[in-house]
Amino acid sequence: MTEITAPKSAITAEQFADEIREQLKYTQGVTVEQAKPADVYVAASAAVRRHLMDSWFKTQADMVNGNTKAVGYLSAEFLMGKQLRNALLNAGLTEQFNAAVKELGFSVQDVVNAEHEPGLGNGGLGRLAACFIDSLASLGVPAFGYGIQYKYGIFEQKFDENGKQIETPDYWLTNEEPWGHIDYNRDQKVSFGGEVVEENGKKVWKPAWSVRAVPVDYMVPGYASGRVNTLRLWTAKSYDEFDLLTFNKSEYLDAVKPQVEAENISKILYPEDSTPQGKALRLEQQYFFVSASIHDAIRVFYPGQDKPDLTTFADKITFQLNDTHPVIGIPELMRVLMDEYGYDWDTAWTVTNKTFNYTCHTLLPEALEVWPSKLIGELLPRHLEIIEKIQDQFAAELKTKGVDEATIKDMAIYTGDSVRMAYLATYGGSHVNGVAELHSQLLKDVTLKNFSDVYPDKFTNVTNGVTPRRFVKLANPRLSDLITEGLGTDKWVSDLELLKGLEPLAADDEFVKKFAAVKQANKVDFANYAKREYGFDIDPNTMINTMVKRLHEYKRQALKILAVIARYADIKSGKISADDIMPRTIVFGAKAAPGYYLAKQTIQLINNVARVINNDPDVKGKLNVYFPWNYNVRLAQHLIPATDLDEQISQAGKEASGTGNMKFALNGAMTVGTLDGANVEIRERVGAENFFLFGMTVDEVDALYAEGYEPKKYYEADPRLKAAIDMVADGTFSNGDKTVYEDLVHDWLTKDWFMTLADFGAYTAIQSEIEALYAQPLEWNRKALINVANSGYFSSDRSMEDYLERIWKTGPLAD
Ligand code: GPW
């Protein structure tokens, strides 16, 4: 007997169809006959939302009236992915929806396809935030996600006829968006600029301009918890809609200028991943959402109180700083407590310090935000004063702890010229965590070493995780059914460690064959999807070998493409016969920051390698490269379940964690990877014999830097590497034009900061191991199944439990 615990609403498909009809008629004003799939999508979404409403109200009431501390997850990015299917799953309405849509005469696929995914994030950091709020709701923990409702999310990526990346704006709000509810009556005023004056011995900030922060609320339904939390994304509006005086002078454009300027704040998501730009507008965005969120939390938790006792604030809510982007919240809460509510410095500091915690997501020094003091002073003069005072207090504290002058200087939050946000966050909050064991260790040993020496107790680790609802249950229904069959229960969806129960089945050939059949069917599905969406002809009988993530030098897409080229060169030169190779389809997905030159060159190269190889009859059916443009959550949900081999090949010590690696392992892909980020823990859990490890370790990387790395030596020493690079240089992939990849090749041979060339030998060597195993499908699938069975740890539910226990010290609401 299989135990089914998935939520199921009591309403029937007929009733749900009626609700859709009603919604179409009375709210949208279209008849069923007139309706397009997009109308049905909006109507069905509104209907699901209505079903969640009572749980939403109850969760909010219990949160405010109860005594469970809430979590405020402050994040500049929430990469949510499509909402409808997820909401249906959690509301227990999936079957009713499928039947109702058919009854109304529509295709389920068409209706679901009408949703445009909100791309309000760049990559891993934003998607992690989305997984975390899903898990908090599923655990029944009261929580707010606080962020920005960007009008334009991450750009839409296209490729031009030369294979270059083109960025076009993501018009995600041009059609009706049924999930976000704009709440004009719970707005907040956010001010900027001006000066600080003294009045009666008190500092008073006289800002120069203000914008209206209006919340747009998204429901975050938990899976089988009966709880619905809130994602509150702020949108910027102007207070002066337009200036009538100017308008009457017929200077129309000038008349709307203040409005345009105010609304600019939430207009666009900065598309840089891990490399902040330091633009004034970006700081405005950060302050905008953080200030609005802090005031919102006071409004929510002290309803109707003019003189709330904010010494209890940290008992009501704990704010998690998702990287440094919201760190201006620390001086902001200080300012609010002192200037708006009259608390003294020490009281304000105690509350602020208890309220905030900081998650660091990087090891790249250039990713740590540093703001010029001048900019902060111009935009937020009072905050700069507070930061200076924090610095004074900090330096004095360090001195009493016996820290020497030079180290105190090294640790400065405020250097005079600039403000180091990671240091402010570390000192200003209670805890600092990294996002994988190795990363947290390196934070303590390297990036934040001085801080860890002085404040060892602040530092902890919480390894990232991913939500099994979206990335297994929704993305991979076939595997989900097989898991449920194997375990005899579907409880794993909310208790992913139960996957461990699949391990004995890896010895059962019949079960392994079923598992292999699931993968094969997913590959066929993906091939069809790729044909429909991209026009690709993918052969589902080849190994699907995937590398999807942002394009960044440290992630080393270059290593992968060079290995592909080397293989191609081997075949072309007759060194190996095409008949002897394991047929592979290599799939890349990656966006590059628009200003990141080498990343964009790499994209162009991959596209042109694909063009040349896919059109070469000598390798036809043996080696194919595809680069579906605009990698996003939707594409991830199709591609991950169809992948045989996943690439996690960053230089050791550079990827903080990775979360794609977890999604692939959970969906039964094997991983080829370095000892970096969460790869280390994945390998530990699934077993070294079930993971393709290669490449230098952190210590070896450091030693090579110390010794003086010369990439040219590796080029000279390895004829296959040399052949591959020479092919790029000689115009094989640029119609004979040697200038196209000149800069890329020059960088590889003279700098190669992330040691792609040094790891090339190890990377290509492991390929024969990979292919030998793939030639034995039963053994490959056995290992892939063992990966699934041992990846339950990488649920974001577990990450949330760790945060609750180690950092937030709170838990679920009582029923
Ligand atoms: F640089 N990450 C990201 F740390 O996606 F801020 N964007 C970013 O701007 C940063 C980190 C930042 C990623 C990490 O690169 C990845 O290793 C990690 O898995 C992910 O954040 C979630 O923690």
Of 759 and 246, the structure prediction assigns the larger pLDDT to 759
CA–centroid distance, 362 to ligand 1, in Å, is: 6
- Ligand 1 atom closest to Cα of residue 360: 4
Q: How far is the CA of 326 from the centre of ligand 1 (A)?
A: 15
For residue 127, how far is its CA from the centre of ligand 1 (angstroms)? 10
Quick one: 227 and 313 in the same domain? yes
The closest residue, in CA terms, to atom 6 on ligand 1 is 274
Mutation probe of ligand 1 site: the residue of 282, 361, 591, 680 with most atoms within 8 A of C-beta: 361
In this model, does residue 246 exceed pLDDT 60?
A: no
Residue 211 has which token pair?
């914008």
Q: What is the pLDDT of residue 259?
A: 74
Model pLDDT, residue 654: 98
* Ligand 1 mean position, distance from CA 655 (Å): 8
**What is the per-residue pLDDT for 1?**
77
Round the average pLDDT of the chain to a whole number and report it.
97
Are residues 338 and 420 located together in one domain of the fold? yes
What pTM did the predictor assign? 0.98
Query: Nearest CA to 76 among 11, 146, 28?
Result: 146
For ligand 1, atom 21, name the residue with the nearest CA. 125
**Of ligand 1's atoms, which has the minimum distance to the CA of residue 325?**
6
Residues 232 and 283 in one domain: yes
Q: Are residues 774 and 804 in the same domain?
A: no
pLDDT score at 244: 56
3-state secondary structure 22-34: HHHHHHHCCCCCC
What pLDDT digit, counting tens, does each position of 143-156 carry?
Answer: 999 999 999 999 99
Could you say which DSSP state residue 469 is in? I
Structure tokens at 626: 């595809």
Residue in 409, 401, 393, 413 with CA at minimum distance from that of residue 453: 401
- Nearest-CA residue for atom 10 of ligand 1: 274
Grade residue 239 by pLDDT with cuts at 50, 70 and 90: confident
Residue 162 lies in a domain: yes
Residue type, 95: E
Q: Where are the alpha helices (DSSP H) in 224-316?
A: 244-248, 252-255, 257-264, 280-301, 313-316
Asked whether residue 31 carries a pLDDT value surpassing 90, the answer given is: yes
Residues carrying an active site annotation: 361, 549-550, 555, 659, 663
Residue at 25 is within a domain:
no
Tell me the best of 274, 421, 432 to mutate to test the pocket of ligand 1, counting ligand atoms within 8 Å of each CB and taking the most. 274
Answer yes or no: is 55 within a domain.
Answer: no
CA 645 – ligand 1 centroid, Å: 23
Nearest-atom index, ligand 1, CA of 439? 17
Tell me the CA–centroid distance for residue 124 and ligand 1, in Å.
Answer: 5
pLDDT (0 to 100) of residue 292: 99
pLDDT of the residue at 625:
98
pLDDT tens string 384-425: 999 999 999 999 999 999 999 999 999 999 999 999 999 999
**Mean of pLDDT values over 31-60:** 98
pLDDT band at 22 (very low <50, low <70, confident <90, very high): very high
Count of domains in the chain? 2
DSSP per-residue string spanning 673-734: E-S-TTHHHHHHHH-GGGSEE-S--HHHHHHHHHH---HHHHHHH-HHHHHHHHHHHTTTTT
Distance 650 CA to ligand 1 centre (A): 13
Question: Does residue 475 lie within any of the structural domains?
Answer: no
CATH number for the domain harbouring residue 712: 3.40.50.2000
CA 276 to the chain's CA centroid: 16
Residue 242 has pLDDT above 80, yes or no: no
**804 and 762 assigned to the same domain:** no
End-to-end CA distance of the chain: 29
Question: Do residues 449 and 795 lie in contact, with contact meaning Cβ atoms separated by under 8 Å?
Answer: no
Classify residue 598: in a domain, yes or no.
yes
Q: Return the pLDDT at 250.
A: 63
E strands present in 403-513: 418-420, 432-434, 459-461
Supply the pLDDT for residue 243.
55
Give, for 340, the enclosing helix (H) or strand (E): none
- Ligand 1 centroid to Cα of residue 457, in Å, is 24
HEC profile for 398-427? HHHCCCCHHHHHHCCCECCCEEEHHHHHHH
Whether residue 245 has pLDDT greater than 60: no
Which residues have any ligand 1 atom within 6 Å of their CB?
Answer: 122-125, 128, 273-274, 323, 361-362, 367, 435, 464, 655-659, 677
Tell me the two tokens of residue 739. 């200038």
Which residue has its alpha carbon closest to ligand 1 atom 9? 274
Distance CA 788, CA 687 (A): 12
Which ligand 1 atom sits closest to the C-alpha of 362?
Answer: 4
Cβ–Cβ under 8 Å, residues 210 and 191: yes
pLDDT of residue 579: 86
Contacts of 621 (CB under 8 A, 6+ apart): 539, 542, 583
Write the pLDDT tens digit of every residue in 76-92: 999 999 999 999 999 99
| Structure ipTM over 0.90, yes or no | yes
Residues 804 and 747 in one domain: no
* Cross-strand partners of 647: 672
Q: Quick one: pLDDT band at residue 275, thresholds 50, 70, 90?
A: confident
Q: Does the pLDDT value for residue 247 go beyond 60? A: no
In this structure, is residue 180 part of a structural domain?
yes
Q: How far are the Cα atoms of 85, 115, 237, 345 from residue 218, in angstroms, in the given order?
A: 15, 15, 19, 36
pLDDT in tens, 121-144: 999 999 999 999 999 999 999 999
Residue 248: is its pLDDT beyond 80? Answer: no
Looking at the CA of residue 272, tell me the nearest atom of ligand 1. 9
Pocket test for ligand 1, best of 125, 554, 800 (most atoms within 8 A of CB): 125
Mean pLDDT of 104-109: 98
Same domain as 446, residue 558 = no
Q: Are both 804 and 742 inside the same structural domain? A: no
DSSP structure class, residue 582: P
Residues 621 and 650 in one domain: yes
**Which atom of ligand 1 lies nearest, measured to the CA of 361?**
4
Point out the ligand 1 atom lying closest to the alpha carbon of residue 658.
19
Q: 477 pLDDT exceeds 60?
A: yes
Q: What would the pLDDT profile of 433-448 be if each residue is shown by its tens digit?
A: 999 999 999 999 999 9
**Structure tokens given for 413:** 């939050």
Segment 693-717 shows an average pLDDT of: 98
Atom of ligand 1 nearest to the CA of 550: 5
Residue nearest ligand 1's atom 22 by CA: 125
Does one domain contain both 174 and 228?
yes
Which residue range forms the structural domain that includes residue 128?
Answer: 66-81+117-464+800-808
Q: Do 681 and 542 belong together in one domain? A: yes
Q: Looking at per-residue confidence, does 262 or 770 come out higher?
A: 770
State the average pLDDT over residues 753-771: 98
Tens of pLDDT along 545-562? 999 999 999 999 999 999
CB neighbour list of residue 524: distance below 8 Å, 6 or more residues apart: 540
**Which DSSP state fits 502?**
G
Give residue-wise pLDDT tens across range 789-814.
999 999 999 999 999 999 999 999 99
Report the C-alpha gap between 299 and 308 in whole angstroms. 10
Give the single-character DSSP code of 3. B
Tell me the helices (H) and strands (E) count for the chain, helix number first. Answer: 34, 22
With respect to residue 42, please indicate whether it lies within any of the assigned structural domains. Answer: no
- The answer, yes or no, to whether residue 787 has pLDDT greater than 80, is yes
The predicted-structure confidence for 163-178, as pLDDT tens digits, reads as follows: 999 999 999 998 899 9
CA dihedral 306, 311, 316, 319 (to 10 degrees): 110
Count the Cβ atoms, other than its own, within 10 Å of residue 657: 29
- Is residue 105 one of the residues assigned to a domain? no
Confidence tier at 277 by pLDDT (50, 70, 90): confident
Q: Return the amino acid letter for 589.
A: G
Three-class DSSP category at 356: strand
302 pLDDT band, cuts 50/70/90, is: very high
Q: Do both 676 and 776 map to the same domain?
A: yes
- Cα of 329 to ligand 1 centre, how many Å? 20
Q: How far is the CA of 292 from the centre of ligand 1 (A)?
A: 24
Q: What angle do CA 754, 610, 569 make, to 5 degrees?
A: 75
